[in-house]
Each structure stands twice: as C-alpha cells, then as structure tokens.
Amino acid sequence: MSAPKLELAAKDGARAPSPTEIANASLALSEITVSYGEKPAVFSVDAALPRESMVAIIGPNGAGKSTLLKAALGIVPRLSGSVRVFGQEIERARDRVAYVPQRASVDWDFPTRVIDVVLMGLYRELGLLRFVRKAHRERARACLERVGMADFAERQIGQLSGGQQQRVFLARALAQDADLYLLDEPFAGVDAATEKAIIDVLHTLKAARKTVVCVHHDLATVVDYFDHVLLINVRKIAEGPTATTFTSDNLQATYGGRLASTHIDQLKLSS
Amino acid sequence: MPDAILSALLFQAGYNAALVAIGSALLGIAAGAGGTFLFLRKRALISDAVAHATLPGIGLAFIAMVALGGDGRNLVGLLAGSAVSAAVGLLLVDWIVRHTRLAEDVAIGAILSVFFGLGIVLLTVIQTMSSGRQAGLEGFLLGSTAGMLRQDALVIAVGGALALAVLVLLRRPMTLVAFDPGYAAARGVRVQAVDLAMMGLVLAVTVIGLKVVGLILIVAMLIIPPVTARLWSERTDTVVAVAGVLGGLAGYLGAAISASAPNLPTGPIIVLVSFSLFCFSLLMAPSRGVLAAAVRHRRFQRRVHRRQGLLALARNEPILDPLTLKVLRRDGLIRPDKVATDAGRARAAKALRDERRWEVARRMHQDEGASGRYDGLTSIETVLTPDEIAAIDAEIGAPRLAGQGAN
C-alpha cells in the first residue's frame, strides 16, 4: 500500500457534500460508519450520487461495498451518519427505493413460486389484508416479461439457475416501480445472456429517468455500463463521473497495490 | 376398541372426551399453522426453550395464588404465570445471542435446562406445602386431560382463535421476513418486531397447549405438522393451511384414540398420530416423497439410456446395453433388428444437437454444475430462457443437423 497516495486521495474524497448537493442527489450519504464488533467495515463515507444516472460502487473484497448499501437502507445498523433519498429522509422515501439483494442471501428451497416472489414487490401496496387480484398478478407477470422469465412464473424457485434467480430478484424490484434502484452485485456469477438481459433492463430504467446504483466487481465492464463511480475501501477514495474518476491512480489507491499493473493496463480507463 | 374409537370420533364417548377432542383439534390447528412460520424462519428449536421456560412460571403462579388466599389451581392464573416466565426465557435467549458471542443453539440449551431445573425445584417445594399435595402441577409436564373442564376447553378455543387471527393478519410480513429478511428491512418492515410477534404467537400456542399435551411434547405439535405439510406443497400459504389441517387432524384423532381406552395419555398419542401422518407423507408425497423420488430415479435412468442410445444411433455406433435396447425398442425408435426407425433417426439428430447445446451451456454457466438441472438430459428448452438458448446457438453457429442420423 502506498500510504501517502491514500492520504491524498482520502483528503479529496472526504469532502462532505453541501446541502444543495444533498437535496439534488438521488442518494446522499453523510458520514456513514458501520462497524462489526470494533472493526469499522465502512468509515465516514460521504457521497452525493447524481439523479438519472448509472452508478457503480467499486472496491476490493471486504471494502464494505455491500455493507454501505445495507447501511443506507437500514438493513445493518449505522454507527453514525445519515441517509437522504431525493432530498427526503429515507423512512419517508421507502417506496421510491427498490433493493435487489445478493441472490446467495436467501434459501432457494423456500416454498414459493417465481410469481410469488415478484408479488412481494407489491408488498406495501397490498398491505396486511388485501387479496392479490388479477391486476396485481398481471403486473407481476409483465415484470417477469421484462427480464425474459414469463414462462417460469409458476416454477418453484429452487428449480432456477443462478442467472434466473437474479432475474427474478430484479423483476421483484421492477414491480415496485421505484425511482432509485440499489443492486448488490447483480452480475456476480451469472451467465452472459443474463448479464445482457439485466444491463438492458437497467438501461431502460435510466432512459425512463430512474437512478441505478450497483455494487460492482467486474472492472472490465465499468466504462461500458456506468456513467458515475464511487470508489471505496472502507473509506471513500473517490467519487465522480466515470470519465474523470475511473483512473489508474484512483484504482491503485482503492485496491492498494492488490491490482496488478498489467491488469490495470488492460482496462479501458479514463486518462 | 375400533367401536370405542368411532364413538369417540363422533363425540359419543362422553362429555369430557368430546371437550378434549374439540380442544385438541383447535390447539392442533393453531400450533400447526403458527409453527410453520417458525419452521420457515429456521428457528424451530426455539419453541423448545419457550416450552420448558413455562415451568417456573406455573410454580410461582401457584405459590402466589395460594399466598393471596385463592385457589392455586386456577387455570387462567397458572397460564398467565407460565406465559410470563416463557417470555422472560425468550427474551433471555434473544439477549444472549445479541450481546454475547454465544450462538442461538447454545443459548436455547442453556435457557431450556436452567428454567426447567428451576421449575422442578419449585414443584418439589410446592409438594411440601400443605395445599400443594393435590395441586397436580406435574400434569403440565406431559399434559393431563382427565379432569378437563368446560372452561379449560374455552381457554384453548379463545386462545387458539386469537393466535389464528394474529397469524392471518401478519402472514405477509412473516413470510417476507422468513424468506428474505434483508429485503424486508429495505422495504421498511421492522424485522425484529415481526420476529417478536412470531415468537409471541408460538408462546401463546405453547401456553394454551400445556393442559393438553404438556410442555415437553408441545414442540412436536409446532414442528411435525409444518415439516409434513412442506412435503405436500411448494407454496407458503398452502403449507401454512395444510399444516393447520394436519395439526387439527392429529389433535382430534389422537384425543379420540386416547379416549377409547382407559389410561391412554392424550398428549403422547397426539404426537404419535402426528408422526404417523408425517411417515405417510414422507413416503407418498408427490415430488418430495420417497416413493416419488424412486420413480423419478427410475425414469431418469431410462432417460439416460434413451439419450445414450440416440447418440449412439446418431454416431452410427453399435448399441450393446440390453436396457438401452429395451428402452429404444419400447419407444419405437429402433426395429427389432436394431436398425433405427424414421422416428428414431429424427430423435437422434435432435439429441445430437441438444448435446452440443448442453456442451456450450455448461461452459457458459459453469457455476450451475451443482443445481442438478444442468444434467444435459433435460430438454434444454425447459431449463433455459429463449435468450439464453439464442446465445448458445450463436456460439454453435447456424443450426445444421450434423451426423449420420440427419435426413
């Protein structure tokens, strides 16, 4: 690790967003710290992610990417910090946020069918007692159609491949009709056809003026898929448009020399 | 004996027997349906800690009621005491898991044994009290329905109905939390509160079940019906409903059987009936049952032989395996002289193409090896989506039917 470089980058990255930036951001994080035991997994991360953009959260394994997302949503408790969504408290904006967890996070032998999982996306609308009606089912089916899984609606979820499971999770998020989509490693371990299907859906979302934020691990596709990046390694290293921020220096600072320079050379980097 | 069971089933074995049968059936429904969410949340064992933690509460409630000059055997009072101590045990398990490095199974074991030990000490103390000899509190260990009163049955009925009402009200959040707690939290569901409600439900069922099956066996009524129901269905709502029906059936049948002969204990008989239903389901259930699995294996074996035979036909190789020949001949794919029929040639060409597709599929979906559906034998159209197949075909090239079998 090159300590001086890290320090410089951290100084630049640690600048807290101004109130105007927070109000205009899709997702604004202020001084988020999360700790498992006494070891901080995420330390004082600030970010103001632009609206109507495709954002990648990038960093090495154990850098706290997923944790940051979970902390923003309140899935894991924050030690400090606050979260605003489109300028509002997150509690008031829950319906505008759709979350796609890592598919490994659930038991796929659970007794439920593909369509039932998608219907979970309508959870707030259905409330506690309302019955699932034909209109709800048709909406769920339309979401499955968008990810190419309409024929699988009645299948038990345990019969799906990994890529198909990921598509079902995406369909559940679509059913919510949110404005901000937070996805945790949506491309991890999926086949090429699924990766294409997912990125197509995400690009449609962006075209519909939605915001998409992905925890992403594949550096080779960052430039093609995303227009904004947030580089973290426990602390924030850098944030900004892919064109100016996804640089060799920032990657070195993020990965702390763990990234072979030959690997970096092969990436389509911004100069 | 069969006549005695029949008359008990038809509520003709006397007033007490009818009360016990109705009470047990209601308890079984509430326990089966409520236990399903615990089972799906993978926290079934915590019900054992809850059940054992009721005992000190029973003892203390008895002592308190006697000290206040009342009747120590008042059922509502005893159940209230048991509910309080079970809740304390439950919260302690939760606290241990949250604030120490101990895992939940250890916490359950510790709370279960300590509370049960304390309860037994209290019961022994009560034995030495002048009013304690006829208290009959040991009945709560394994249940005692002999002296069941109308009001006891009423307590079970009301408690069970309330538990079912809560269950219907909270079925969606409980399902969501059981399947995907992270997503539930992201939607603003208070996961901890839902978990607590789930535990409260189990606690209520346990407390009202003390009189019928006792605290040692109530766990069986909470766990066996959901596990049995899971064998029959792939849908949460159906599993909950079937578990309720199976639990109610076990309660009713068990009570009737125990009423048919003197000295047959109700609780243990109910558990045995429930277990018999489980064994039957394990054997007979479609798709998840043992017999269905055996049939599936046999079909799979034939599919393997058919595929091997077809590939051999496509590649003009001789077929030697007798089972392969038998399968192909039965399907009309080869003539008795081992020459392929028209149908056989067409199927062979398709098999060869499927084989190529699977080859590519396995390369493109390397992580799926474990899922079992990438066996290369299932027709690829039922396993992959059309765009996935298109990606594979793009890799293979234009759909040309290679091999000798093509026409």
Please report the ipTM that was assigned to this predicted complex.
0.90
Mean pLDDT along residues A13-42: 84
Task: Please tell me the predicted confidence (pLDDT) of residue A7.
Answer: 46
- Same domain membership, residue B155 and residue B65: yes
Whether A164 and B173 lie within 8 Å, measured CB to CB: no
- Same domain membership, residue B182 and residue B69: yes
Domain count of the fold of chain B: 2
Higher per-residue confidence, A197 vs A264 = A197
Higher per-residue confidence, A1 vs A72 = A72
- Same domain membership, residue B233 and residue B333: no
Residue B233's closest chain A neighbor by CA?
A111
- Same domain membership, residue B101 and residue B26: yes
Mean pLDDT along residues A111-131: 91
d(C-alpha B171, C-alpha B197), whole Å = 11
Mean pLDDT along residues A257-271: 65
Mean pLDDT along residues A110-119: 96
The answer to whether position B215 is within a domain reads: yes
Which of B187, B231, B358, B360 to mutate to probe the A interface, most A CBs <10 Å?
A: B187
Residue A191 has its nearest CB partner, among B169, B175, B388, at B388
pLDDT digits (tens, 9 = 90+) for B172-207: 999 999 999 999 999 999 999 999 999 999 999 999
d(C-alpha B245, C-alpha B232), whole Å = 12
Residue A229 confidence (pLDDT) above 90: yes
Residue A156 has its nearest CB partner, among B189, B234, B390, at B234
Strand duo A80-85 + A88-89: pairing:
antiparallel
In CATH, what number is assigned to the domain containing residue B238?
1.10.3470.10
Highest mean pLDDT among A29-43, A222-236, B301-315, B381-395: A222-236
- Same domain membership, residue B139 and residue B40: yes
- Same domain membership, residue B310 and residue B234: no
- Same domain membership, residue B374 and residue B259: no
Whether B176 and A94 lie within 8 Å, measured CB to CB: no
Residues of chain B found within 8 Å of residue A101, distances taken between Cβ atoms: 180, 182-183, 186
- Same domain membership, residue B129 and residue B79: yes
- Same domain membership, residue B140 and residue B244: yes
The answer, for A196 touching chain B at a CB cutoff of 8 Å, is yes
DSSP states along B18-31 = HHHHHHHHHHHHHH
- Same domain membership, residue B170 and residue B311: no
- Same domain membership, residue B221 and residue B326: no
The answer for A 127-146 residues in CB contact with B (under 8 A) is 127-129
- Same domain membership, residue B177 and residue B303: no
Residues of chain B found within 8 Å of residue A94, distances taken between Cβ atoms: 186-188
The answer, for B256 touching chain A at a CB cutoff of 8 Å, is no
The verdict on pTM exceeding 0.90 is no
The answer to whether position B144 is within a domain reads: yes
Best CA proximity match to B14, nearest among B246, B258, B273, B247: B258
The answer to whether position B407 is within a domain reads: no
d(C-alpha A72, C-alpha B310), whole Å = 56
Q: Yes or no: say if A32 and A71 are a contact pair by the CB < 8 Å rule.
A: yes
Whether B364 and A156 lie within 8 Å, measured CB to CB: no
- Which of B248-262, B272-286, B368-382 has the lowest average pLDDT? B368-382
The answer to whether position B279 is within a domain reads: no
Domain that holds residue B197: 2-267
pLDDT digits (tens, 9 = 90+) for A127-166: 888 888 999 999 999 999 999 999 999 999 988 988 999 9
Average per-residue pLDDT for chain B: 87
Last residue of a domain, one of B233, B267, B301: B267
The answer to whether position B387 is within a domain reads: yes
The answer, for B368 touching chain A at a CB cutoff of 8 Å, is yes
Task: Please tell me the predicted confidence (pLDDT) of residue B271.
Answer: 95
Calculate how close chain A gets to B369, using CA atoms only, in Å: 10
d(C-alpha A57, C-alpha A59), whole Å = 7
Last residue of a domain, one of B215, B235, B267: B267
The answer to whether position B10 is within a domain reads: yes
Residue B379 confidence (pLDDT) above 80: no
The CA-atom distances, in angstroms, between B254 and each of A20, A84, A90, B260, B279 are 70, 58, 53, 10, 16
